[in-house]
């Protein structure tokens, strides 16, 4: 057993015995071969796949789901290159322009040619997310392709999302970051919890570090995590780091430790789902 395998085994034991999967990471690098999208701010620091792999190895994380970062918008080439670099450890979730009628076909080609396993949508106030002529073909194509729909969504858009979920009962839908529901605002949180009635709706318990007004281990957010866990159950929630965005307030190790070591309401079986089982239900990792 090499060092990486030994660390992964130790971390898996601490996480309830499961293979640890990080279902939400980003990678990017200034590279003329993979330019950032026009008009997007240039990040001051690169965070390439090699850096992520080193952190995964140090923390016993076996696999990760790379989410297409906004710096590249709808150009998925850097994501695809990262997936090809380490196909045993990375899978990818892409973006296509949801405002374009041809996007379902573009998505299908990304899946066929590169093994993309999910689509990310980022609803905004411009109206396209409520447009059935655009949304239903895209959601239905995801359902037919058997890939997941990921939503980086504020809670305000979740009632609309529920309408598309109802139309696509065989589609796995993953809400990122607890929809960034503000701490203590139960009316907002209720919009997220209401999605628990759909058996293929999942939630990433990420952004605890961002939503909290306290330092690690962000105890003021533990009640919100438990409410989501109680509503959806352990098989439909998952830890995620949101690295490197999380570096603003947390180390990679802290994003794991907050859930593994600080939340006593998770038992050993829950942690098996939290740290890998749920992600493996949604993506082929």
Contacts of 276 (CB under 8 A, 6+ apart): 12, 15, 18, 19, 20, 21, 62
pLDDT over threshold 80, residue 9: no
State which residues form the domain around 12. Answer: 3-282
Give pLDDT tens digits for 17-76: 569 999 999 999 999 999 999 999 899 999 999 999 999 999 999 999 999 999 999 999
* CATH number for position 11: 3.20.20.140
Q: Domain count for the chain, please give it.
A: 1
Percent of the chain with pLDDT over 90: 92
pTM, full prediction? 0.93
Neighbours of 109 (CB within 10 A): 12
Average pLDDT over residues 197-221: 97
Q: Give the model's confidence band at 8: pLDDT under 50 very low, under 70 low, under 90 confident, else very high.
A: very low
> Residue 284: exposed, middle, or buried by beta-carbon count in 10 A (0-12, 13-18, 19+)?
exposed
Q: Which two tokens stand for residue 19?
A: 């293979």
How far is residue 20 from each of residues 7, 61, 115, measured CA to CA in Å? 11, 5, 21
Beta-bridge partners for 66:
25, 92
């Amino acid at each position: 057993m090499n060092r990486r395998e030994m660390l992964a085994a130790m971390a898996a034991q601490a996480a309830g015995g499961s293979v640890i999967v990080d279902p939400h990471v980003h990678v990017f690098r200034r590279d003329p071969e993979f330019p950032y999208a026009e008009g997007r701010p240039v990040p001051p620091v690169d965070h390439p796949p090699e850096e992520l792999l080193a952190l995964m190895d140090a923390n016993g994380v076996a696999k990760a789901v790379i989410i297409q970062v906004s710096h590249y918008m709808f150009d998925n080439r850097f994501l695809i290159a990262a997936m090809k670099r380490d196909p045993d450890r990375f899978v990818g979730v892409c973006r296509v322009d949801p405002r374009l009628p041809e996007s379902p076909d573009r998505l299908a080609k990304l899946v066929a040619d590169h093994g993309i396993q999910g689509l990310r949508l980022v609803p905004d106030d411009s109206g396209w997310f409520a447009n059935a002529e655009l949304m239903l073909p895209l959601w239905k194509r995801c359902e037919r392709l058997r890939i997941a729909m990921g939503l980086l969504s504020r809670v305000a858009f979740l009632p609309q999302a529920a309408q598309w979920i109802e139309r696509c009962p065989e589609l796995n839908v993953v809400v990122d970051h607890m929809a960034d529901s503000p701490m203590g605002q139960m009316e907002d949180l209720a919009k997220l919890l209401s999605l628990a009635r759909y058996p293929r709706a999942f939630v990433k318990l990420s952004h605890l570090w961002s939503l909290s007004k306290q330092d690690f281990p962000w105890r003021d957010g533990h009640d919100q995590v438990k409410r989501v866990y109680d509503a959806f159950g352990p098989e439909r929630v998952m830890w995620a780091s949101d690295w490197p965005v999380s570096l603003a307030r947390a180390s990679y190790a802290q994003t794991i430790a907050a859930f593994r070591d600080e939340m006593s309401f998770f038992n050993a079986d829950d942690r098996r789902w939290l740290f890998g089982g749920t992600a493996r239900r949604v993506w082929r990792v």
